[in-house]
Structure 1
Amino acid sequence: MNTTMPSNTTKEVVHDLSPYLMEYTDGTIERFVVTHNVPPSPEDPTTGVASKDIMVSSPEVKARLFLPIPKLTDSNQKLPVLVYYHGGGFIVESPYSLLFHRYMNSLAAEAKALIISVEYRLAPEYLLPIAYEDSWTALQWVASHVIANASIEKDEWVTKHGDFGKLYIGGDSAGGNVAHNIVLRAGVEPLPGDVKILGSFLSCPYFWGSKPVGSQSKENLKGFAYKVWMCIYPPASGGIDNPMINPFTEDAPSLSGLACSRLLVCLAEKDAFTPRGILYVETLKKTGWNGEVQLVVVDGEDHCFYLPNPNTEKAKDLIKLLASFIS
């Protein structure tokens, strides 16, 4: 990973993603934010959830697993399985960070679900579509546990406690973008063992484009969300209107191809991404998609409000909503 501090004062900034990072003309990347990581735990004192780190595909793809252990210690009880993709604009954060570790502990406990929180490689050191490929690899690995002679190193928690009739995927912000693209891909490329995705949730999903939606103006379309995409996927055809970031372009796959039967879209009233999240649901309903969709917009809140402030009533309500969707 190239994180060399710039020493030549004459080189120019190619991408200014302050306060997170800058990328320079010579390829060096200066990161300003250091993610505060926490170790896994045999039992979280607040939630009673156990966690551990595993290698999915050495050395590229890793994950942190979360298992609610009360009443499970000596049983073979099967639990819903959630493959989760964290947010952070594809440039920061991790399953190991305090924000997402705490979030997954709470969700695993409330939903009584086994969660596989995926560590995909970050841009701009690893440009898209690498994060999408890592995320797909992780989902394939999880599904492969149903195959008796699969050529993977199986995990005991997944084998013993995973109910593959209740497989969910989900994510927040960039992770919501990943979840959308992964569910579309699963409609074209069957998962190992012909495992099906029962449901997906998208929280404050990162979608953007060149045309205003709702109350947006053309001026605010070239802000941070635009700059991030142009940094993390510079060769993307169509630029900010590439179907991976803009599901509403003419050449984007139809949302009728979403390979799940249940979808939950959670948005925040003050979030700049919310108009596109609403359009996503409206567009889906017009495609003839044969599934059940639920849209929730939380009043008075901004982008991923529940992550930094998990103890507010609205944050707790959102966790309960996600948990009921999964369980």
Structure 2
Amino acid sequence: MDLTNPESSQVIYDVPIFFKVYKNGLIERYRKHDFAPPSNNSVTGVRSKDIVIVPENNVTVRLYLPKITQNDQKFPLLVYFHGGGFVIESAFSTYYDSYLHSVAAETNVIAVSIEYRLAPEHKIPACYDDSWAVMKWVSQGSEPWLKSYADFSRVFLSGK
């Protein structure tokens, strides 16, 4: 951003603790999140992987599969919506990744964590549309981990 240009540096919205929007369209978030890659946790046995659901909107999920102890084992399914008021955070931040690894390990659930588009770049209802697209994708049950290990009679929604 060119701060010497008064047009560029003019703030039109300031939402304290979340973001500023400048007249030129630039959005500056007060808090930046880090990125945790999907992993295989050797301590808990939980594996995770990322899957793109809607490529044109970059709607992605991170799946968490708890340790498998039996060949025909089925786990309850948890669909998780990360916090941040639809304007900050990510399903891929170390905070949520660590949290969902522990939830999957301690409660023996398959977790699906949704990475949806954030406001204000993407106006509401984008986050809801993205989440609904993931819910429809989950209900199809075609992803191999879901197909093999999810108990679709025990589906839970959660977030914080």
Q: By how many angstroms is 1:46 displaced?
A: 3.5
**1:133 and 2:129 are equivalent in the alignment:** yes
Is the CA contact 2:34–2:93 (under 8 Å) kept in the aligned structure 1? yes
**Matches of 1:9 and 1:47 in 2, distance apart?**
53
**Matches of 1:59 and 1:33 in 2, distance apart?**
26
Which of residues 44, 47, 53 is equivalent to 2:44? 47
Is the CA contact 2:44–2:67 (under 8 Å) kept in the aligned structure 1? no
Which of residues 107, 113, 116 is equivalent to 2:112? 116
TM-score (norm 1): 0.46
Structure 2 partner of 1:86: 82
| SS of corresponding position for 1:117 | strand
**Matches of 1:137 and 1:46 in 2, distance apart?**
33
Is the CA contact 1:38–1:98 (under 8 Å) kept in the aligned structure 2? yes
**Matches of 2:50 and 2:146 in 1, distance apart?**
13
Higher relative contact order (CA 8 A, sep 6+): 2
Is the CA contact 1:86–1:118 (under 8 Å) kept in the aligned structure 2? yes
Structure 1 partner of 2:55: 58
Q: Which has the larger radius of gyration?
A: 1
Q: By how many angstroms is 1:111 displaced?
A: 1.2
- Judging by fraction of residues, say which structure has more helix: 1
Pairing of 1:150-169 with structure 2 (within 5 A): 154-169=142-157
| SS of corresponding position for 1:59 | helix
Residue ranges of structure 1 left out of the alignment (5+ in a row):
146-153, 173-327
| SS of corresponding position for 2:105 | helix
Q: By how many angstroms is 1:64 displaced?
A: 0.2
Distance 1:21 1:138, change over 3 A: same
Which of residues 11, 14, 38 is equivalent to 2:12? 14
Structure 2 partner of 1:29: 27
| SS of corresponding position for 2:83 | coil
Q: By how many angstroms is 1:118 displaced?
A: 0.5
Structure 1 partner of 2:73: 77
Q: Across the two proteins, how many residue pairs are aligned to each other?
A: 157
Could you report, residue by residue, the CA deviation over 1:188-220 in whole angstroms, capped at 9, with x for unpaired residues?
A: xxxxxxxxxxxxxxxxxxxxxxxxxxxxxxxxx
Is the CA contact 1:6–1:28 (under 8 Å) kept in the aligned structure 2? no
Pairing of 1:1-327 with structure 2 (within 5 A): 5=1, 7=3, 8-10=5-7, 11-41=9-39, 43-60=40-57, 61-72=59-70, 75-145=71-141, 154-172=142-160
- Judging by fraction of residues, say which structure has more strand: 2
Residue ranges of structure 2 left out of the alignment (5+ in a row):
none
